[in-house]
Amino acid sequence: MAENAPICEHVSRECPIEYTVYGYRPSLWVNSLLTSLFFIALVTNIWLGIRFKTRAYAIVLALGCLAQVVGYGARIAMYFEPFNAMAFQAQVCCLIIGPAFNSAVVYLMLKYIVALFGPEWSLLKPKLYTIIFIGADIVSLVLQAAGGGIAATTSIGDKDMLNLGNSIMMAGIAFQVVTLSMFALVATAFCIRRVRAVKCYPLAGNALQTWESARFRWFICGLSTTFLSIYIRCVYRIAEMRGGWGNKLMKEQIPFILLEGLMILIATSAQTILHPGNFFPAFMSRKLQHEPIESYTELPIVPKYTV
What's the CATH code of the domain at 31? 1.20.1070
Is residue 8 assigned to a domain?
A: no
Is residue 59 assigned to a domain?
A: yes
Helices 28-52, 55-80: crossing angle, 10 deg rounding: 160
Residue 197 burial (CB count, 10 A): 14
Contacts of 140 (CB under 8 A, 6+ apart): 100, 172, 173, 175, 176, 179
Judge residue 301's burial from the number of C-beta atoms within 10 Å of its C-beta, 0-12 exposed, 13-18 middle, 19 or more buried.
buried
- pLDDT for 243 equals 80
- pLDDT for 245 equals 78
- pLDDT for 276 equals 95
User: Measured at the alpha carbon of residue 111, what is the angle toward residues 189 and 283, in degrees to the nearest 5?
Assistant: 125
CA distance to 112, 130, 148, 281, per residue, from 294 (Å)? 11, 13, 37, 19
Residue 121's identity, in one-letter code, is W
Is residue 12 assigned to a domain?
A: no
- pLDDT for 66 equals 98
Q: Count Cα atoms within 13 angstroms, Cβ side, for 290.
A: 0
Is residue 101 assigned to a domain?
A: yes
Domain carrying residue 170: 17-297
- pLDDT for 292 equals 41
Is residue 1 assigned to a domain?
A: no
Is residue 302 assigned to a domain?
A: no
Residue 290's region, left for phi above 0, alpha for psi from -120 to 50, else beta, is left
Is residue 161 assigned to a domain?
A: yes
Is residue 270 assigned to a domain?
A: yes
How far is it, in rounded angstroms, from Cα 120 to Cα 114? 9
Q: What is the pLDDT along the chain (307 residues), one digit of tens a residue?
A: 444 555 787 888 888 888 888 999 999 999 999 999 999 999 999 999 999 989 999 999 999 999 999 999 999 999 999 999 899 989 988 999 999 999 999 999 999 999 899 999 999 998 899 899 999 999 998 998 888 788 767 665 667 787 788 889 889 999 999 999 999 999 999 999 999 998 889 988 888 999 999 999 999 999 999 999 999 999 999 999 888 777 899 999 999 999 999 999 999 999 999 999 999 988 766 543 344 444 333 334 444 433 3
* Number of structural domains the chain divides into: 1
